[in-house]
Amino acid sequence: MTANPVLLQKKYSRVVALFAAKMEITLSDALDFFYHSLTYRLMSNGISDMHCMSDDYLAEELCGEYTNRPAENAGAC
C-alpha cells in the first residue's frame, strides 16, 4: 500500500521530531539518521504498512536502530 506523499512527509516530520526529543539529539542529526535508517526505507517503500504505525512506535524503532548502530558509525550522528 502506498501513502499519499504529502501525508507521508508530514508523518516523517512528526516521527523525526519525536525521535530527536527521545534521544536528546538535534533535529538535524535526527533527520540525517532517519533518512539513512531501515525504518525510513520500510516506510517509504510501503513495506508491511510501516507508515500506518503510530508515530511513537516508529520513533521507538529509530531509537533502537540508533542505539544498536555499528561502532564505526556511532559518531556519525
CA angle 44, 22, 74 (to 5 degrees): 75
pLDDT tens digits, 7-57: 889 999 999 999 999 999 999 999 999 999 999 999 888 887 888 899 999
Q: What is the C-alpha separation between 33 and 35, in angstroms, rounded?
A: 6
Question: Can you give the pLDDT at residue 77?
Answer: 40
Q: What is the C-alpha separation between 47 and 36, in angstroms, rounded?
A: 16
Residue 4 has pLDDT above 90, yes or no: no
In sequence order, what DSSP letters do the residues of 17-52 get, joined into one string?
A: HHHHHHHT--HHHHHHHHHTSHHHHHHHTTGGGGGG
Residue 73 has pLDDT above 90, yes or no: no
This prediction has a pTM of 0.84
